[in-house]
Amino acid sequence: MKIPTKLALAAAALALISGGAYAASASDNWDNSCASCHGSDGKAQTKTGKKLKIKDYTDAAVQAQLKDDEMIKSITEGIKGDNGKEKMKSFKDELSADEIKDLVGFIRKFKA
């Protein structure tokens, strides 16, 4: 069983080298974790999106108001409304810092 062992080792080494390659892509993460509220197209024309008055990320004016570091903070820590009630949950237990950064880049691409 020499060859399979070598192959397994090679695969393990490759996985180590490529690092984040096994993390989900930003578009998969968006569809799985964000689209239910923000919409797959970023327009937030979902039931929850309308109810919570979520901004339309294809709107250039909305994009201009968003700051990358605040977006990262909101996704990582979540967002609470004025009444202290959670509007968007924290994703720090589900997504890595790299995945969150990729999502910010993904959101930027919604801009028309």
Residues lying near ligand HEC in the complex (CB under 6 A) are found at: 29, 33-34, 36-38, 48, 52, 54-55, 66, 70-71, 74-75, 79, 87-88, 91, 103, 107
Closer residue to ligand HEC in complex, CB, 55/111? 55
Take residue 99 and report the two structure tokens written for it.
């995945």
Tell me phi and psi for residue 68, to 5 degrees: -50, -45
State which residue, 1 or 71, has the beta carbon closest to ligand HEC.
71
Closest among 76, 96, 98, 70 to 88, alpha carbons compared: 76
Q: Considering the complex, state which of residue 23 and residue 37 has its C-beta at the smaller distance from ligand HEC.
A: 37
Report in angstroms how near the CB of residue 107 gets to ligand HEC at its nearest.
Answer: 6
